[in-house]
């Protein structure tokens, strides 16, 4: 299929996020919506609803050029596929965090069943010229299920999270099946070159027997396919527009009044162990210990909406964070100043972009992250005349592009404290220079470039 042919795009992800006013969309949702808005097509996936019986027919709705097609899932299968294999096995494994890893064959069986169910419900919708784009680790086997059912259209896969090295991957009893499933795609895309190298290394292990060609293609499990790097970006102009438009927002004005003249350090993350939030709190504590002049002069606000409520690990993280925030505030608070404001709830994208623009420092220190779009959104939201500074973990994909940020290792509390102090004290001319350089990078690798590059690769044999 030539690159010039206009094909319909079929994007598939675990969950379909039909846009809702005021709701902040995650990185995957932003990426898929952007691709479909530009290209037109269908977004297919789970509706967010479970049933006790065999799930009913697909539901359809439309918004402009995008058709949303959703399916319900059986409650037991969903529990084992999503909370079980996807979140207890794959998520910790892919984030190199084997301390949280567990495996059950019954959960893996449900994971395979749900992927086969996705394939069965998707096939009647497909047309011969469609380009199929599968997103993320919940759906590793979907391409193989579609191939087994006779689908011949180009199928691409993009992994939004990191890909681990072979020593980590082989902790998964079914790792060979996962690699075999990935070989069913025409294009397998990753966030960074490190993820690609890990994947190439896994595929060329003697026991897997794959071969890496000079042009970067891989032959394994009887198929030859492309594996490439496509760092996901953001819509830079949209971030700037939203930040400026909401800068006079009533809530933001109240925040400004409550801060008085203190500098704001902002963190925004899902409540997840991969985000290293307790380490971040302790890094901020070390700033107050090591640099007493910051006391009463800076406020750290951490927004961490709850995620996967009811999963024990996440309830535990929440408890640990509340304890750490209370502990630090108890040590350092003054009558008119609270060092940490910890908000365990979600806020609209509009307000978040405006808060980013208001904040002198964006603190983004995950222990491991595929990309981390918050770092990019923080940079894009800044006022170029008086920009804030991102303090960024070297262990997230965004650090590969935002090389002018203040880079820190989240495990090094003193290093995080020193990085924060450097950002707080950075002179205006230096802030402007690094901001201009980072914005140029974000524009070059924006969300539209990501979409175009992936679709081009998928459209070209």
Catalytic residues: 160, 369
Residue for token digits 């898929």? 32
Among 96, 38, 122, 3, CA closest to 448: 38
Long-range contacts of 288-293 (CB under 8 A, 24+ apart): 288/328, 288/331, 288/332, 288/339, 289/417, 290/414, 290/417, 290/418, 290/421, 291/417, 291/421
Could you give the count of Cα atoms lying within 13 Å of 105 in the half-sphere of its Cβ?
0
C-alpha 131/C-alpha 357 separation (Å) is 38
Structure tokens at 424: 């707080």
C-alpha 191/C-alpha 171 separation (Å) is 22
413-425 vs 277-290: helix crossing angle, rounded to 10: 60
Q: Classify residue 279 by its DSSP letter.
A: H
Burial of 334 (0-12, 13-18, 19+ CB in 10 A): exposed
C-alpha 109/C-alpha 389 separation (Å) is 46
Write phi, then psi, for 187 (nearest 5 degrees). Answer: -135, 130
Evaluate whether 12 touches 134 at the Cβ level (below 8 Å).
yes
Structure tokens at 450: 């990501």
C-alpha 175/C-alpha 171 separation (Å) is 8
CA 31 and chain centroid, separation: 10
Q: Which residues pair with 45 in a beta bridge?
A: 13, 70
Q: CB atoms < 10 A from the CB of 217, how many?
A: 13
User: Could you give the strand order of the β-sheet that contains 389-393, starting from the edge strand earlier in sequence?
Assistant: 340-343, 298-303, 263-268, 361-364, 389-393, 406-408
């Amino acid at each position: 299929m030539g690159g010039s042919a206009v094909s319909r795009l079929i994007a598939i992800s675990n969950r379909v996020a039909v846009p809702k006013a005021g709701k902040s969309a995650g990185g995957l949702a932003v990426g898929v919506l952007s691709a479909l808005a530009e290209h037109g097509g269908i977004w297919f996936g789970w509706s967010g609803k479970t049933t006790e019986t065999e799930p009913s027919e697909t539901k359809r709705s439309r918004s402009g050029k995008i058709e949303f097609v959703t399916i319900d899932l059986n409650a037991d299968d969903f529990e084992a596929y999503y909370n079980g294999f996807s979140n207890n096995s794959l998520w910790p494994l892919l984030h190199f965090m084997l301390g949280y890893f567990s495996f059950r064959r019954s959960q893996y069986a449900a994971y395979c069943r749900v992927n086969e169910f996705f394939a069965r419900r998707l096939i009647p919708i497909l047309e011969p010229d469609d380009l199929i784009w599968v997103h993320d680790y919940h759906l590793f086997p979907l391409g193989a299920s579609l191939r087994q059912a006779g689908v011949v259209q180009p199928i691409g896969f993009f992994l939004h999270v990191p890909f681990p090295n072979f020593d980590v991957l082989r902790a998964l009893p079914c790792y060979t099946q996962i690699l075999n499933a990935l070989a069913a795609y025409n294009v397998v895309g990753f966030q960074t070159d490190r993820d690609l190298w890990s994947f190439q290394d896994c595929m060329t292990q003697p026991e897997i027997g794959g071969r890496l060609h000079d042009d970067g293609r891989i032959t394994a499990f009887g198929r030859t396919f492309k594996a490439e790097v496509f760092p996901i970006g953001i819509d830079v102009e949209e971030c700037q527009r939203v930040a400026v438009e909401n800068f006079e927002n009533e809530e933001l004005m109240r925040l400004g009044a409550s801060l008085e003249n203190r500098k704001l350090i902002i963190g925004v993350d899902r409540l997840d162990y991969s985000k290293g939030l307790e380490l971040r709190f302790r890094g901020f504590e070390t700033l107050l210990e090591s640099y007493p002049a910051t006391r009463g002069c800076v406020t750290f606000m951490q927004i961490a909406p709850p995620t996967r409520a009811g999963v024990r690990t996440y309830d535990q993280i929440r408890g640990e964070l509340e304890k750490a925030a209370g502990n630090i505030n108890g040590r350092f608070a003054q009558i008119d100043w609270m060092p940490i404001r910890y908000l365990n709830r979600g806020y609209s994208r509009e307000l978040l972009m405006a808060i980013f623009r208001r904040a002198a420092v964006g603190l983004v220190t995950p222990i491991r992250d595929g990309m981390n779009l918050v770092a990019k959104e923080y940079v894009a939201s800044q006022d170029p005349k008086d920009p804030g500074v991102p303090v960024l973990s070297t262990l997230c994909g965004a650090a590969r592009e935002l090389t002018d940020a203040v880079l820190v290792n989240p495990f090094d509390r003193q290093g995080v404290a020193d990085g924060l102090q450097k950002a707080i004290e950075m002179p205006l001319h230096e802030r402007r220079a690094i901001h201009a350089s980072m914005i140029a990078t974000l524009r070059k690798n924006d969300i539209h470039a990501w979409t175009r590059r992936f679709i081009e690769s998928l459209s070209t044999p």
